[in-house]
Structure 1
């Protein structure tokens, strides 16, 4: 059976500096947690790791890749013979109705609690703390943290959610929050949480920066190689020829996740044509279908670049 384009794209992993840095920080946080656990009950507050960025910046991919490589099939490679289930890292994707009660219930579900809806908030939190101790949790991860229904905190008015997140970190359990800038505004409004922060957020690339364009270009080149490696096309696709990198930057807003979705559309166009790789024409068509349709950009930079080149050729 031929590889499915969408399925293969979701499994593609391309390493870049922020990707590597994020993984190294998570490794360091886990190492510190294990060292603290070895002190037999002495409580050492843990870091509050933040991974924020725009939608489609690549946040979830960084997180998914870490869990895949360090916890294959749920097994902690640091202690492969440990008790089952291990739950060294517990990850949950918060839904759109994450009130404080829902927030606690979702945590209990992540620990496979048989009755996550039972008990008042204090009882629920007691069970969560007991699970953290039972499994020696090294990472408690909250993806889509922008779905938390919390207001901004002040020194005198921190929400229950702020208090719980801060309390878990101060009690020694490393917290990882993943979300958009909206989540950052809410969560980091708590000064005490800010004092614990270890930030691995994805910064916005600047098209006017030569260094950033090189980083983006490297990602474009790697993506072209991945299309062949994943068996989608027999030939490597070249996304760094001419001014293609600059055009793709404009069409994706410089976001790696958006670029992947754009190239995914182009791959479908190329496959329907029976092409041996994804070419510039396919990218041009995908910009119409994805970038312009989703109002990322109002024009097609590849088409405009071709028009400009054609005019210059006629003048010459």
Structure 2
């Protein structure tokens, strides 16, 4: 039967399929994944956002207790948003070490907004990341009870009144621990018709009005709609940070520049895969056909290129291959990228 996704490329090194009976297989996969985790490729659009966040931190360091602006960043899933925040955290930590300062794990605090997260849970998650142990073990119990009924009990009223107390604790610990920035990821999850979601949104505004701590909200492509519907919040978040999507073509100067950036990113990633020992031989990611296929899968988001390589790497190691080959990238597209909705075909396969 003909494969609807096309004929996959053949392997060049290693075996056609993994030998899961190999007792050393897990160790080799773990070693490759560990090496890959150390890789960072400088990319101008990500560096631009990092530098803007550095400026934001400098501008807000002396403004605690008075109104401060926030920042927001929206981009498609796996575009590299979260990676650049972790990179900022690592760079600031390295600079502290170079200056002879003690490490500060709280300099940049990163939390994830969960689905159906209540206001109290949001504030308590920040406190948890700040290392404060005095946290309610069941922060959503009162909210769940309130949603089932129409009346607010005295206990629930007390919980609501405690929001300001929680913010005060966050403000106190942020100063004591030297927090420069709090990052709240997955902001699009606040885009729901629910009282608890509006409570979080409204309190974020108060959070900034009181100058509790500098705040960055990050969301995927769906977060654009959330921010647009919340004008009062947007007014406190300044100009949106933009993680540029690369749109390479040969017809415009901007397209040519993007093509150069995309190729340069893949070239540097290729080199670091070898340099870190993640693979033994060059994957040849800048081969013309491979580059075109990577662009098709990623839609110009370099974060997606990294994520695809991360999926393909263990597939290559499991086969005993010397490097990531077209067959591994094809399998990663079929097993991962198509399921995420990035693409509906396999550009590494042939239709002939």
TM, length-normalised to structure 1? 0.79
Alpha carbons of 1:146 and 1:7: their partners in 2 closer, same or farther (altered >3 Å)? Answer: farther
CA contact (8 A) 1:14 1:223 kept: yes
CA contact (8 A) 2:167 2:207 kept: no
- Residue equivalent to 1:108: 127
CA contact (8 A) 1:5 1:268 kept: yes
Name the SS of the counterpart of 1:50 in structure 2.
Answer: strand
Alpha carbons of 1:136 and 1:151: their partners in 2 closer, same or farther (altered >3 Å)? Answer: farther
Q: Quote the RMSD (CA, aligned, Å).
A: 3.1
- Residue equivalent to 1:166: 205
CA contact (8 A) 2:33 2:314 kept: no
Give the 5 Å matches for 1:1-316.
2=28, 4-36=31-63, 43=66, 45-71=67-93, 76=96, 81=101, 87-117=106-136, 120-148=162-190, 151=193, 159-172=198-211, 173-196=213-236, 197-208=238-249, 209-304=255-350, 307=352
Q: Which structure 1 residue ranges, 5 or more long, are not aligned?
A: 308-316
* Greater relative contact order structure (CA < 8 Å, 6+ sep): 2
- Residue equivalent to 1:311: none
Aligned length: 294
Name the SS of the counterpart of 1:15 in structure 2.
Answer: coil
Alpha-carbon distance between aligned partners in 2 of 1:80 and 1:94, rounded to the nearest angstrom:
34
CA contact (8 A) 2:280 2:322 kept: yes
Alpha carbons of 1:143 and 1:274: their partners in 2 closer, same or farther (altered >3 Å)? Answer: same
Name the SS of the counterpart of 2:349 in structure 1.
Answer: helix
- Residue equivalent to 2:10: none
Alpha carbons of 1:91 and 1:289: their partners in 2 closer, same or farther (altered >3 Å)? Answer: closer
Alpha carbons of 1:76 and 1:289: their partners in 2 closer, same or farther (altered >3 Å)? Answer: same
- Residue equivalent to 1:313: none
CA contact (8 A) 1:90 1:140 kept: yes
Displacement of 1:266 after TM fit? 2.9
Displacement of 1:139 after TM fit? 0.9
Alpha-carbon distance between aligned partners in 1 of 2:174 and 2:336, rounded to the nearest angstrom:
43
CA contact (8 A) 1:87 1:135 kept: yes
CA contact (8 A) 1:107 1:128 kept: yes
